[in-house]
């Protein structure tokens, strides 16, 4: 396992085990979900993530086209819809000075977390996630699930 520090979080991760787990996963919920939020996200997935997050995912061995889960926060503001989600990976926490979930969900950010939908079947008992928030455009055919 390799060590990685992000802000005040220190983790150990297994890139090869993560890559193997992702190769065994053909598609996840975002790819098959029929809700308006997932349909919109799929249209903009290729531009949703910034270079820093993509570099982190690559280092961890995560497939950036296979989010563990994605959800929209609500209605669009200035043409952008806020989303959050997780990318699972094989790893464990070494030190955490700020708290695994300490970040502002209204900004485009990411951090490590041990609180996310269960992924132990695919990634084993030592599994963490990169939790992210992004804002992506609203497609012309977007239909809100928020009423």
Res 27: pLDDT: 81
pLDDT score recorded for residue 49: 92
Please tell me the number of Cα atoms within 13 Å of 85 on its side-chain side. Answer: 25
- Return the structure tokens found at 15: 């890139």
Question: Do 101 and 131 meet the contact criterion of CB atoms below 8 Å apart?
Answer: yes
Encode pLDDT of 55-110 as tens digits: 999 999 999 999 999 998 777 888 888 899 999 999 998 887 655 454 454 555 78
Q: Helix, strand or coil for residue 31?
A: helix
The alpha-helical segments, DSSP class H, found in the chain are 15-23, 29-32, 36-48, 51-60, 120-123
What's the DSSP call for residue 88?
E
Instruction: Please choose, from the candidates 76, 67, 82, the residue with its C-alpha nearest in 3D space to the C-alpha of residue 135.
Output: 82
Mean pLDDT (the chain, rounded): 86
**Cβ contact 62:130 at 8 Å:** yes
Q: Are strands 110-113 and 127-137 parallel, antiparallel or unpaired?
A: antiparallel
| 5 pLDDT higher than 60 | yes
- In this structure, the strands spanning 9-13 and 2-6 are antiparallel
């Amino acid at each position: 396992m390799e060590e990685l520090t992000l802000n005040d979080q220190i983790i150990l991760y297994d890139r090869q085990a993560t890559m193997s787990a992702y190769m065994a996963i053909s598609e996840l919920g975002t790819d098959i979900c029929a809700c308006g939020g997932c349909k919109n996200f799929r249209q903009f997935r290729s531009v949703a993530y910034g270079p820093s997050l993509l570099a982190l995912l690559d280092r961890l061995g995560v497939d950036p086209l296979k989010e563990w889960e994605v959800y929209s926060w609500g209605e669009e503001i200035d043409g952008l819809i806020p989303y959050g989600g997780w990318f699972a990976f094989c790893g464990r926490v070494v030190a955490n000075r700020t708290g695994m979930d300490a970040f502002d969900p209204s900004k485009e950010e990411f951090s490590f977390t041990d609180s996310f939908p269960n992924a132990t079947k695919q990634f084993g008992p030592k599994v963490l996630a990169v939790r992210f928030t992004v804002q992506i455009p609203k497609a012309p055919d977007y239909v809100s699930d928020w009423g």
